[in-house]
Structures are given as C-alpha cells and as structure tokens.
Amino acid sequence: MRVRLDHVVIHVSDWTRSNAFYTEVLGAELIGEDPDGPARYRFGDQQLNTHGPGVDPHPVAAKQVQPGNSDLCFVWEGPI
C-alpha cells in the first residue's frame, strides 16, 4: 500500500505575519484570495494549511488544531 503525506495543518495567530514569513522568508507560494487572511502555502508538491483568527474550517479533525500544535494528513488507498 502506498502512503503519502497530503498536507500539514498549523494554527497561526496573525495572518499578515504568517503570510510574510512563509512567503518572504521560506519562499512558499501563497494560495488564497486575501494576502492578509487565511492561507495555504505551497512548497513544490507539499502543502501547508492554516487555521487561525476568523476561520471556521471544514472539514476538520475531531479536535481542531490549536495554537502551537499541528496535524499531519496522510492519503492511502483502502480502509484504515
């Protein structure tokens, strides 16, 4: 069975600072409509998703990622 990392989710507290750090410092591609709002960051084939102020993401894990934490999302064929 082939297993791959689909994306990682982090919680941010400031969209403007987060977007500046991930794009300007780490060179990520910013994916999202608002440069000062919720975003996804692309690093080649990998994606970093964000939760934070003013966002009610769907779908989410049973416990939404909290500040200072992250979650890893994998993809594979077949059942758990």
Q: What is the pLDDT of residues 40-62, one digit of tens each?
A: 899 988 889 888 887 776 666 67
Whether 63 has a pLDDT exceeding 80, the answer reads no
pLDDT in tens, 17-41: 888 999 999 999 998 766 666 788 9
User: Is residue 67's pLDDT more than 70?
Assistant: yes
Quote the Cα angle for 50-32-57, to 5°.
40
Report if pTM > 0.95. Answer: no
Cα separation values, 62 from 44, 52, 59, 71, 73, Å: 29, 17, 9, 11, 13
